[in-house]
Amino acid sequence: MCEANAYIIEESSEERLIMEAVDQVIPEEEGIRLVSIFGDQKFIRGYIHSLSLVDHKVYIRES
């Protein structure tokens, strides 16, 4: 399985894990919806900043 962990990049440049095992990231009107392989969902007011897929990492910045 090739899900990834989603991290918010803080203004301090630190990474904060917000969801494990993310399958889908879906754009919505004011942000993005993360959906895990277990069906958990989380809405974030932000956008996908960058990816490091071999490391299973999705980086998000809040907007």
Residues of this chain that interact with a copy of itself (CB under 8 A) are 1-4, 22-27, 37, 47-54, 56, 58
Residue labelled with tokens 């754009």: 27
Q: Please name the residue that has the structure tokens 């956008």.
A: 47
**In the complex, least distance from residue 16 CB atom to a copy of itself, rounded to whole angstroms:** 19
Phi-psi region of 6 (alpha: psi -120 to 50; beta: other; left: phi over 0): beta
Q: What span, in angstroms and rounded, lies between the C-alpha atoms of 40 and 10?
A: 23
Tell me whether residue 16 or residue 52 sits nearer to a copy of itself (CB atom): 52
Shortest distance in whole angstroms from residue 40 CB to a copy of itself: 14
Nearest distance from C-beta of residue 48 to a copy of itself, angstroms: 4
